[in-house]
């Protein structure tokens, strides 16, 4: 069972792919644009509950039992990965402020969530991401510390068909 840890304000450094980014977590905000960061070099965060295509998919995944490589399948996954990363980058570009909720996975190490050393996080953005009209009613919104509404980027990546779920849909979408 994954448990909720903490909520933070953070600044996006860059997106690695559609479901992994590097963030600087704000420790103190002095106002007037002056901040002190908990991790000035950034921390990798893996979006909780979803899985996007890989930008650099492993060749083994696209090689059959006879050793024949499926070039089209490999290229198709890379294309879908870039689309997912572009979507995430559009709503949380480098330098933008986001809200995050971190999670701890008991299967991971003591303070990290997975074998790649990334924390699990739900990322919330200010601008409502676009999803298909059919599914737009499912977007889960979240009110953070009395601030205006923030939107779950995790949910929107899934609802816009850029990501697959790694949890039950009802766990990700709280409507």
The helix/strand/coil state of 144 is coil
pTM score over 0.85 = no
22: number of Cβ within 10 Å: 19
For residue 26, what are the domain limits?
Answer: 3-172
Between 159 and 112, where is the model more confident? 159
What does the radius of gyration of the chain's CA atoms come to, in whole angstroms?
17
The number of folded domains in the chain is 1
| Owner of token pair 């997975």 | 114
Q: What is the band of 159 on the pLDDT scale with cuts at 50, 70, 90?
A: confident
Instruction: Provide φ and ψ at 95, rounded to 5°.
Output: 90, -10
Strands (E), the chain: 3-17, 20-31, 34-37, 43-47, 50-51, 97-104, 119-125, 141-143, 149-152, 164-165
| Owner of token pair 């000035």 | 40
Distances (CA, A) of 111 to 103, 114, 118, 129: 10, 10, 9, 31
Spatial CA neighbour of 90 closest among 46, 156, 174: 156
Q: What is the band of 163 on the pLDDT scale with cuts at 50, 70, 90?
A: confident
Per-residue pLDDT reduced to its tens digit, 94-146: 999 898 888 765 555 545 456 666 788 888 888 777 765 445 555 555 555 55
Domain harbouring 95, CATH code: 2.40.50.90
Structure-token pair, residue 17: 């792919």
Spatial CA neighbour of 2 closest among 116, 76, 108, 98: 108
Per DSSP, the chain holds a count of helices (H) and strands (E) of 3, 10
Contact present, 97 and 158 (Cβ < 8 Å)? no
């Amino acid at each position: 069972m994954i448990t909720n840890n903490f909520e933070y304000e953070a600044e996006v450094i860059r997106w690695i792919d559609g479901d992994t980014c590097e963030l600087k977590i704000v420790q103190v905000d002095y106002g007037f644009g002056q901040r002190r960061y908990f991790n000035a070099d950034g921390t990798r965060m893996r979006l909780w509950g979803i899985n996007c295509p890989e930008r650099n998919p492993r060749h083994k995944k696209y090689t059959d039992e006879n050793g024949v490589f499926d070039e089209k399948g490999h290229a198709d996954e890379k294309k879908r990965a870039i689309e997912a990363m572009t979507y995430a980058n559009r709503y949380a570009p480098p330098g933008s402020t986001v809200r995050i909720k971190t999670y701890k996975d008991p299967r991971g190490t003591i303070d990290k969530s997975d074998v790649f050393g990334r924390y699990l996080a739900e990322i919330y953005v200010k601008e409502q991401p676009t999803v298909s009209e059919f599914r737009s009613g499912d977007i889960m919104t979240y009110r953070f510390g009395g601030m205006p509404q923030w939107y779950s980027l995790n949910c929107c990546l899934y609802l816009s068909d850029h990501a697959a779920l790694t949890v039950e849909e009802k766990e990700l979408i709280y409507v």
